[in-house]
Structure 1
Amino acid sequence: MGGALFDEFHELTAKAYEILGYSIKTLCLEDPNRQLGQTQFTQPALYVVNALTFLEKQREDLKPPDYLAGHSLGEYNALFAAGAFDFEIGLRLVQKRGALMNKAPKGTMAAILNCSEEKIREIFKSNHLETIDVANYNAPSQIVIAGLQEDIQRAGPLFQAANAVFIPLKVSAAFHSRQMQGPMKDFATFLDNFTFAAPKIPVISNVHARPYQPHQVATNLKEQIVSSVKWTESIRYLMGQGITDFEELGPGDVLTKLIRKIQTEVPPLVVEAPFVIGKGSIQGRGTIVEVNGAQPRESQSSPVLSPQSQSESNKATPASSAYTSPKPPSTERSTSASITPENLGSREFREDYNLRYAYLSGAMYKAIASKELVVRMGKAGYMGFYGTGGVRLSEVEDSIQFMQRELSQGEPFGMNLLCNLVQPEAEMEMVDLFLRYGIKYIEASAYIRITPALVKYRLKELSRNRRGEVVTHTKVMAKVSRPEVARSFLEPASEGIVKKLLEQGQITPEEADMSKEVPMADDLCVESDSGGHTDMAVTATVLPAIVRLRDEMRHHHRYATRVRVGSSGGIGTPEAAASAFVLGADFILTGSINQCTVEAGMSHIVKEMLQQLNVQDTAYAPAGDMFELGAKVQVMKKGVFFPARATKLYDLWRTYNSLEQIDPITNKQIQEKFFKKSFEEVYEETRNYYLQKVPSEIEKAERNPKHKMALIFRWYFIHTMRMAIQGKEDYRVDFQVHSGPAIGAFNQWVKGTDLKDWQNRHVDDIGDRLMEGTAEILNQRFQCFLGA
C-alpha cells in the first residue's frame, strides 16, 4: 500500500516519521512487526497513503472537483484536500484518533447483506439486542453493525434465520459505536488545541450526509467517532446534485462498487436549494425531494472519494440504534435538508453533557422519573434526571448504583436535588451522597434561595485550565420560573455561605477563592406551564426575559463561560419545541409526557388515564408541600375529584382556625369520602412521621389547632399521590397526578400512530420523534417565510 508514493513525496514521508516516531513506508510495505492491522497504526497509514494519492492526482489534473467525500477515516483526507487543515495537522489528528480508539472497550462488528434497515431494526427490537448499534450505511443492501462481542455473536443466527448474509469482521473493538463515547470525549479535548479553516470545496459529512458548514470541522470530527457513516445518503445527496461521475482515490475499489449499488438500488435525494459555502454562512438550504426515475442535471466534475479501511467502521448515533425509531408520527426524517435535530439548540451544551441532541427528560417526584427511565435515556445518547423527591436516601443510593452499573461506558445521567428549607440536614445528606458517588450532574429544583448544601456541591473540585479560567467539574442545572430566582443562580455563591462552609471544613481554601469567578449554575431551565409546581409562566415572556438577564449578568461578572438557558413546561409537540428554540432556548426538557411511558415509575392505571387526556383536562390545585403558602400545582382533572377536594381543604383551612369550627356534616364528608379514615387516625400517622423527622412540627401542632389542621389536611396530598403511584383502584377518584396540558397536546399529535397506546411509548423514542419533528416544522415554516 503506497508503493512509490513514499519516495515521490519524501519530505512528507520524513515529516510523518517525525510525527509518528516510526517509518510509515516500512509499516505499509513490509510490516515487520505485524502492526498494520492494529487501528492505532492502520489509521495513520491510511491517512498518509490517501493524502499522497490525492497530491499525486493534483499534479495530473489541476481542475478541482465539485465535491469531496470520504468514508469514515477517509473524511480526514477529504478535509485535507479541501484545505481545512494541512498534512501535518491531519496526521496528528489521525494519530490521536487511532490511539484513543485502540483503548476502547472490547467489542466487534459484523456486516449484514441482503437485509433492509427496517428488518434489521425489527430483529434488534424483537430480540432485545439493545447494545448493538448500526455502524455503517454502506449501501441499501450492505449495513454494518457494532456492539459487544457476545451480543454480536447472539445476533448472527437471528439474521441467518432471516435469510440475510451475516459476516463477522476481524476488528479489535466496536468502532464508532456507543463503545467509543470515552475516546470521543478525549478526542474533543484534543481538538481544542487546533484551529480549522472552512473547507474551500464542499466536503460531505459522514454525520449529516450534507456538506460541512463553516466552523463545523471540530464538531463533526468529534461526533464522527460515534455517529453513523451515512454513506448511502451521502451518495444519494450527490446524485441529487446532478453528480453521475465518481472517482475513487487510494488503494482498492471498495467505494466504487458501493456507489454503483447505491446508484442502481435507490433514487437521488434532490435538495432544491443546495448548500453554498461562503464566509461564515450557509445559504439557500431547502427541502429534499425524493426523485424516482428523474433525469439528473448535466453532470458536474467528479467528486473525489477517499476510502477507509474495511477493518474500521462507524456507528449510528443512538437515534439509529436498535431500540429507537427515528420517524416522527407524521413525517419522515429525510424530508429535511437544512435544520436537523443535531443542530437545534446549543452545540456547547451537547458537548458538555455528551448528548447527541439538546434534549433532556426532567425529574419527577417519587422516582416517577425512574432509574429505568434514566438508563434508557442515557443509552440513547440523551440525559435524564432521576426523581429523588420523597424517596428514602437508601433507595436513592441503590438507584445510583444501578444507573452506574447500567451506564458504565460514560453515558450521562443526572440526579434531582430538591431545596429543603425545613430539613436542611436532609438536603446536605443528599449532596454528600452525590459527591461520594461522583455524581457530575444535578437538576436543582424548588429553590427560592441558594442553600449551603447546593453551594458545597457546586464548589467541589473547582480547578483552573491552562488559561487560568475556573473550570467546574460538578454541573448544576437550575429550574427557574422567575427572574429573581434566576438571578440568584447567575450570581457567584454567597460569601457568607462560602465562609461558613470553609470554617466547617466542607470546602478547601482554593475552592472558596475560585467560587467568586463562577455562577451558581451552568444552565438555567426556564419552567413555564408545567405539571406539578408552577408559577403559571408563559414561555414567550419569561424565556426571553431570563436570556437577557443571563447576558447582563455575564457582562457584569465577566464570566469566562456562558450560562445556557433552556426551556421546559408545555413541551409535548414539535410545534411547542420549535417555538422554544426560536425564542432562544439552548435546550429543551420534557416532563409530563414522560410519565406516560413504559419506563416511568407510575402505575399502569394512571398511564391509561393519562393517554386519554386532551389539552383542557388539567387544572390547578393547592400544593401539599407548601399548603399554608397557597402554592399551586397543575394536576390531571379528568376522571378524578382531587383538584376540587384539594381546593376545598385549602379553603376550609383558610376560613377556620381548627377542625372543631368546621360544621359536622363537612367534617364527616372529609373523613368518609376524602380520607376514608378518621381525623384521629390521620393525625396519629402524621404524628409518628414527624416525631422521627421534624419533632418541632408536632410541638407546634399541639399548641396551635390551625397548624394541626394543616398537618392533617397535608396528609391527604401525600396519600393521594402515593395511591396514584401504586395504582390503588379503590382510590382512583382521589389520584393526584402532576401533569400539564403538554400530555394532552402530545396525545393529539400521536393520535392514529403506534404511540397512541402508552405500552408503545419509550422515553428515548419520544425524544427522537419530538426533535426530528421539530426540525421538520422549522424547515417548513422557514421555507414559507422565504416564499418557497
Structure 2
Amino acid sequence: MTSAAKVILFPGQGSQFKGMGRELFPLFPSQVRQASEILGYSLEELCLADPNGCLSQTQYTQPALYVVNAMHYLRKYPHSRAGEVPAHADFLAGHSLGEYNALWAAGVFSFETGLRLVKKRGELMSAVHGGGMAAVIGVSALEVQALLERYGFGEIDVANFNAPKQTVIAGEKLQLAAAVECFAAMNIRCVMLNVSAAFHSRHVRPLQTDFAAFLGQFSFAPLSVPVIANATARPYDGERIAETLAMQIASPVHWVDSIRYLMGRGVTEFEEIGASVLSKMVADIKASETPLFDKPIFDKPIFDKHIVDKVRPAVHAASPLIGESAEDARAPVPDVIGSDANGAAPRIEATSLGSEVFRRRFGLKYAYLAGAMYRGVASADLVIRMGRAGFLSFFGAGGLSPAKIEANLVRIQGELAQDQPYGMNLLANHDYPELEAAVVDLYLRQGVRNVEAAAFMQMTPALVRYRLHGLRLGERNELVCDHRIIAKVSRPEVARAFMSPPPAAVVRQLLERGQVTPQQAEWSTRVPMSHDICVEADSGGHTDGGIAAVMLPPLLRMRDEMQSTHGYAEPICMGLAGGIGSPEAAAAAFLLGADFVMTGSINQCTVEAGMSADGKSMLQEIDIQDTEYAPAGDMFEIGAQVQVMKKSVFFPARANKLLSLYRHYESLDDIPLRTRQQLEGTFFKKTFTEIWSETVDYFRSVKLDHEVAKAEANAKHKMALVFRWYFAYCTRIAMEGKGEDRVNYQIHTGPALGSFNQWVKGTELESWDKRHVDHIAVKLMDAAAKHLTQSYARFMGH
C-alpha cells in the first residue's frame, strides 16, 4: 500500500431529501428505467416529488438512496463501470446502506442485483416494529455504554459508532424513551430518530435469518478493490460476502474503527460520493482518533453457523456483473426463502422460478403459461378458469371463423375482471392472409392486449399492424408496448425475425395504406416484434421435432446478442414449450435458462378443454410412446408435420398414406382403382365426387370461389383439397366424440401428456374429469421447485 492512498465513500440512510438526484435522472435514463421496473413504481417521482410522503419510509428510502448514490458515482467517473474503480482509489466503503454501493462499485454484483438486495433489505426492515433508535451527541461511545450499564438499560445496544462523539443506540421503545430522559437529565443531547425498529442491534436478529435466506440464491464475484465492512471494520472476506451482508443488519456499524483502519493503511484522501455527511464524521475521527494497524476489534467470530448455512449459494448464480437490465432482470434465479427441517438445505419456491421481469410484465404469480390449442381445444372455459386463478392462457382461435372467435372472446372478456389475464391465439394464414388480417381487426377492435403468434415464417403486415397499434408514450416519455406478442418459434431465423424491429418494408407499406400512423412507424425501430419468445421443442400439433436442450441455449445467446445489438429499453424474455409434462421437465427448462414455461398437451385432457369426453378418455390412457408424426392438413402440400395420438387410432398411418399418394400421382384419376376403392370405402366412407361437392359448397359459402376455379384448372390441387377434407373430418369427429368412427380421430398431442399421465397415475388426477388446468399448473410448478430443492440438496451433500 502506498503512503498516500484513497478511499471512496457512499452515504447511507439519513442523507435522503426531497429533490435528490434532480440533476442526475436525465443523465441516466437506462438506470432509472431499470430501477422503476424492479421496484414497481416511479423512482424519479418518489425522489423529486414524493407525492405520498414515502421517501422517509425505510422500504422506499433505501432503494432510492442506492440508485441516487450509483448515479452520482457514474457521473463522477463516467468512464468507469462497476468493478473498474479509478486506478487512484485503493478502498471503497459505505455507511450501512452505502455498503451496497461500495460492493457494487467493486464489481461484486450488478446494479440491478444490488437494487434487488436493497429492495428486499428495506422491505424486511420496514416490516419490523416496536423498537427505535436515538442519537447520543457530545460524549464518547465508551461513556454511552457505561451510562447504559450503570442505569440498568441492559436491553439497549450501541448500533452506530459514527464519530468520536456521535453514537446511535437502539432498543425497545419504552426503555429507549427512558434512556433519552436519563441522558437529558445529565445535559447529554439525545435525539430520537424517525425509524420503525431497533436496527443494527440484537432486536432485529430474526431479520438476519430472513435476509440470509434471500441472499442464499446469489453467488458473488471477486472484489476488484477492498471494501470495508461495517460489521467488522475490516475488508470483506471474498468467501463470506453473503454472510457479512446478513450479519450487517443486526450488527453495529463500526464506522469509527473503519476509518481508523483506513488511516492505518495509509489512506489520506476520503472522497464522499453525492453528499457530505460522512465527510464531517471522517474529519472528526481524523482529528481525535489514532490509526488502527489491523488489530481485530472482536473477541469472538462474527459469523455463526446458522447464518453461514443460510447464505450458501442456491441453484443459480447471481446476475452477471453490470449486466444491463435486459440481462440481469431475466435471470431465472429461484428465491430461497427457507430451509428444510434440519435447517441445512435451501428451499426453492415455485413463485420465484423463471424471470421476475416476465412475471411482473404480465402480472403473474408464476412464470407459467397455458398455450393455445387448435379449434378451441384451448377453450373459453379454460382461459376463464386460468385467468381467475391468475394464470395467463390463450384461446385456441386457429381454424375458427372470425365470428366464432369473437363470440368466445366476448364471453372471456365478460367473465374475467379487468385485472385477470387472458390472451388470444393468432395463427399465421399463409394461404389466406386476408383472414389473418380479419382476426387482427377483431383483436384491435376488442382491445386484446396479449396474443400468442404461431406458425409464422415471416413478419406479416397483419402481425406488424397489431404490434404497432399498441405503441404509446408513457408518463415519463418512455415508449410503452401495450400489445404483447408471445411468439412461438422453433427455427433460429424465425426467432431472429421476432427479436428484430418490424421489417421496414412492411412498416412502409402499412404507412402508405394509412394502417399505421407516422409516429407508430417512427417508434417501430425502437422495439422488437416481440419482447417474449417461446421456443417450442417437440410438441403436440405442428412441430419441427426439436430437442429442448439443443434448441434453447443457442437461442438464448441469440437473444442476448439481439438485445445488445438493438439496445432495446425493455428486456426480451425467452421461455420454453414442448415436452413439459412433468416436474422434472419444468425444472430442466428453468435450469436451461428459460424465463417461463408454456404447457399444451397436458391441458387438453382436462375438464375445461374443448376436446370431447371420448377423446379425453383416450388421451388419459396414452404413454410417452403413443404419439406419431402425421402431415398437417392446413399445410398438406408442403409436407409440414403435426404430432398426434396413435394409440387405438389409424389416423397417422392413413394421413401419411395420403401424403405419399399426393406426391406420387398428379390427379385423383391417376390413383389405381384398388387404392381408390380403399380410400373411398375405408378411409373416407364417401366417394371423391361427394367429397369434392362438399368442398365446393364450403368454398362458395366463405366466398372463396377462386379456389374452386383453381382446382378445376389444376388436377393436383383438386386432389390436395379432397385429401385435406379427410384431415378436417378427423379433427371434427374427435372433438364431437361420437365414437362411431373412433379409429379416424385426429387428436394433436405430444409425449408430454404420456409423461404427465405416468406422473399422476394412482393420484386424484389420474382421471381426466378430476383434472383442472389451474390445479395442474400449481401442482406442476410446486413439484418442479421441490425437485430443484432436492437436487440441490443432493448436489451439496445434504
Do the structures match in fold with TM over 0.5? yes
Q: Tell me what 1:709 maps to.
A: 719
Task: Say which of 611, 628, 631 aligns to 2:620.
Answer: 611
Q: Which letter does structure 2 place at the counterpart of 1:602?
A: M
Check if 1:54 corresponds to 2:135. no
Q: Tell me what 1:344 maps to.
A: 353
- Seen in structure 2, the aligned counterparts of structure 1 residues 280 and 775 have a Cα distance that, compared at 3 Å, is closer
Rounded to whole Å, the distance in 1 between the matches of 2:722 and 2:158 is 80
Give 1:62 deviation, angstroms: 3.7
Rounded to whole Å, the distance in 1 between the matches of 2:727 and 2:772 is 29
Task: Say which of 779, 785, 788 aligns to 2:795.
Answer: 785
Q: Tell me what 2:548 maps to.
A: 539
Q: Tell me what 2:752 maps to.
A: 742
SS at match of 2:546: coil
Rounded to whole Å, the distance in 2 between the matches of 1:633 and 1:200 is 63
SS at match of 2:452: strand
Is the contact made by 2:625 and 2:754 (CA closer than 8 Å) also made in structure 1?
yes
Is the contact made by 1:360 and 1:383 (CA closer than 8 Å) also made in structure 2?
yes
Give 1:55 deviation, angstroms: 3.7
Is the contact made by 1:375 and 1:406 (CA closer than 8 Å) also made in structure 2?
yes
Q: Which letter does structure 2 place at the counterpart of 1:686?
A: T
Is the contact made by 2:337 and 2:348 (CA closer than 8 Å) also made in structure 1?
no
- The 5-angstrom pairing of residues 181-220 of structure 1 reads 211-213=213-215
Check if 1:667 corresponds to 2:671. no
Post-superposition Cα deviations, 1:149-194, rounded to whole Å, max 9, x if no partner, equal: xxxxxxxxxxxxxxxxxxxxxxxxxxxxxxxxxxxxxxxxxxxxxx
| Greater CA drift, 696-705 or 617-626 | 696-705
- Seen in structure 2, the aligned counterparts of structure 1 residues 205 and 543 have a Cα distance that, compared at 3 Å, is farther
Rounded to whole Å, the distance in 1 between the matches of 2:447 and 2:746 is 34
Q: Tell me what 1:399 maps to.
A: 408
Is the contact made by 2:632 and 2:639 (CA closer than 8 Å) also made in structure 1?
yes
Check if 1:645 corresponds to 2:654. yes
Give 1:694 deviation, angstroms: 2.6
Give 1:466 deviation, angstroms: 5.8
Is the contact made by 1:619 and 1:635 (CA closer than 8 Å) also made in structure 2?
yes
- Seen in structure 2, the aligned counterparts of structure 1 residues 89 and 523 have a Cα distance that, compared at 3 Å, is farther
Rounded to whole Å, the distance in 2 between the matches of 1:566 and 1:470 is 24
SS at match of 1:739: coil
Q: Which letter does structure 1 place at the counterpart of 2:778?
A: D
- Seen in structure 2, the aligned counterparts of structure 1 residues 57 and 374 have a Cα distance that, compared at 3 Å, is farther
Is the contact made by 1:276 and 1:283 (CA closer than 8 Å) also made in structure 2?
no
Task: Say which of 434, 440, 446 aligns to 2:455.
Answer: 446
Rounded to whole Å, the distance in 1 between the matches of 2:135 and 2:754 is 60
- Seen in structure 2, the aligned counterparts of structure 1 residues 20 and 670 have a Cα distance that, compared at 3 Å, is closer
Rounded to whole Å, the distance in 2 between the matches of 1:745 and 1:283 is 24
Give 1:708 deviation, angstroms: 0.7
SS at match of 1:491: coil
Q: Which runs of 5+ in 2 are unaligned?
A: 1-16, 18-49, 55-124, 137-147, 160-172, 174-191, 219-305, 320-332
Check if 1:387 corresponds to 2:465. no
Give 1:726 deviation, angstroms: 0.6
Give 1:461 deviation, angstroms: 3.5
Rounded to whole Å, the distance in 1 between the matches of 2:402 and 2:778 is 33
**Quick one: percent identity of the two aligned structures?**
46
Rounded to whole Å, the distance in 2 between the matches of 1:707 and 1:686 is 12
- Seen in structure 2, the aligned counterparts of structure 1 residues 90 and 555 have a Cα distance that, compared at 3 Å, is farther
Q: Tell me what 1:505 maps to.
A: 514
Q: Tell me what 1:624 maps to.
A: 633
Is the contact made by 2:450 and 2:486 (CA closer than 8 Å) also made in structure 1?
yes
Rounded to whole Å, the distance in 1 between the matches of 2:595 and 2:313 is 25
Check if 1:376 corresponds to 2:407. no
- Seen in structure 2, the aligned counterparts of structure 1 residues 287 and 473 have a Cα distance that, compared at 3 Å, is closer
Q: Tell me what 2:605 maps to.
A: 596
SS at match of 2:431: coil
Rounded to whole Å, the distance in 1 between the matches of 2:520 and 2:334 is 47
Post-superposition Cα deviations, 1:646-705, rounded to whole Å, max 9, x if no partner, equal: 011111111111111111121111111111111111101111222334322211110111
Count of equivalent residues: 529
Check if 1:430 corresponds to 2:439. yes
Q: Tell me what 1:137 maps to.
A: none
Post-superposition Cα deviations, 1:30-64, rounded to whole Å, max 9, x if no partner, equal: xxxxxxxxxxxxxxxxx999867534799964449
Rounded to whole Å, the distance in 2 between the matches of 1:20 and 1:352 is 24
Give 1:581 deviation, angstroms: 0.8
Task: Say which of 720, 731, 743 aligns to 2:730.
Answer: 720
Q: Which letter does structure 2 place at the counterpart of 1:770?
A: L
Task: Say which of 755, 760, 763 aligns to 2:765.
Answer: 755
Is the contact made by 1:204 and 1:211 (CA closer than 8 Å) also made in structure 2?
no
Is the contact made by 1:51 and 1:87 (CA closer than 8 Å) also made in structure 2?
no
Is the contact made by 1:635 and 1:737 (CA closer than 8 Å) also made in structure 2?
yes
Is the contact made by 1:276 and 1:284 (CA closer than 8 Å) also made in structure 2?
no
SS at match of 2:740: helix
Is the contact made by 1:578 and 1:774 (CA closer than 8 Å) also made in structure 2?
yes
Indicate the structure (1 or 2) with the bigger Cα radius of gyration.
Answer: 2
Rounded to whole Å, the distance in 2 between the matches of 1:745 and 1:204 is 42
- Seen in structure 2, the aligned counterparts of structure 1 residues 693 and 487 have a Cα distance that, compared at 3 Å, is farther
Q: Tell me what 1:353 maps to.
A: 362
Is the contact made by 2:133 and 2:195 (CA closer than 8 Å) also made in structure 1?
no
Give 1:337 deviation, angstroms: 4.0
Post-superposition Cα deviations, 1:99-146, rounded to whole Å, max 9, x if no partner, equal: xxxxxxxxxxxxxxxxxxxxxxxxxxxxxxxxxxxxxxxxxxxxxxxx
- Seen in structure 2, the aligned counterparts of structure 1 residues 277 and 553 have a Cα distance that, compared at 3 Å, is closer
Give 1:394 deviation, angstroms: 1.7
Q: Tell me what 1:549 maps to.
A: 558
SS at match of 1:526: strand
Q: Tell me what 1:240 maps to.
A: none
Across the aligned residues of Structure 1 and Structure 2, the Cα RMSD in angstroms comes to: 3.8
Task: Say which of 246, 269, 274 aligns to 2:310.
Answer: 274
Give 1:776 deviation, angstroms: 1.1
- Seen in structure 2, the aligned counterparts of structure 1 residues 540 and 284 have a Cα distance that, compared at 3 Å, is closer
Q: Which letter does structure 2 place at the counterpart of 1:456?
A: R
- Seen in structure 2, the aligned counterparts of structure 1 residues 201 and 672 have a Cα distance that, compared at 3 Å, is farther
Is the contact made by 2:579 and 2:750 (CA closer than 8 Å) also made in structure 1?
yes
- Seen in structure 2, the aligned counterparts of structure 1 residues 589 and 19 have a Cα distance that, compared at 3 Å, is closer
SS at match of 1:54: strand
Q: Tell me what 1:699 maps to.
A: 709
SS at match of 1:585: coil
Q: Tell me what 2:536 maps to.
A: 527
Give 1:752 deviation, angstroms: 0.9
- Seen in structure 2, the aligned counterparts of structure 1 residues 209 and 702 have a Cα distance that, compared at 3 Å, is farther
Is the contact made by 1:602 and 1:725 (CA closer than 8 Å) also made in structure 2?
yes
| Greater CA drift, 470-479 or 271-280 | 271-280
Is the contact made by 1:573 and 1:749 (CA closer than 8 Å) also made in structure 2?
yes
Q: Which letter does structure 1 place at the counterpart of 2:356?
A: R
SS at match of 1:754: coil
- The 5-angstrom pairing of residues 152-191 of structure 1 reads none
Q: Tell me what 2:426 maps to.
A: 417
Post-superposition Cα deviations, 1:551-598, rounded to whole Å, max 9, x if no partner, equal: 111111111122111000000001111111111100000000000000
Q: Which letter does structure 2 place at the counterpart of 1:778?
A: L
Rounded to whole Å, the distance in 1 between the matches of 2:514 and 2:203 is 56
Rounded to whole Å, the distance in 1 between the matches of 2:458 and 2:126 is 58
SS at match of 1:729: coil
Is the contact made by 1:640 and 1:732 (CA closer than 8 Å) also made in structure 2?
yes
Q: Tell me what 1:685 maps to.
A: 694
- TM-score for the superposition, normalised by structure 2: 0.61
Give 1:490 deviation, angstroms: 1.0
Give 1:540 deviation, angstroms: 0.6
Is the contact made by 1:374 and 1:385 (CA closer than 8 Å) also made in structure 2?
yes
- Seen in structure 2, the aligned counterparts of structure 1 residues 729 and 495 have a Cα distance that, compared at 3 Å, is same
Q: Which letter does structure 1 place at the counterpart of 2:132?
A: F
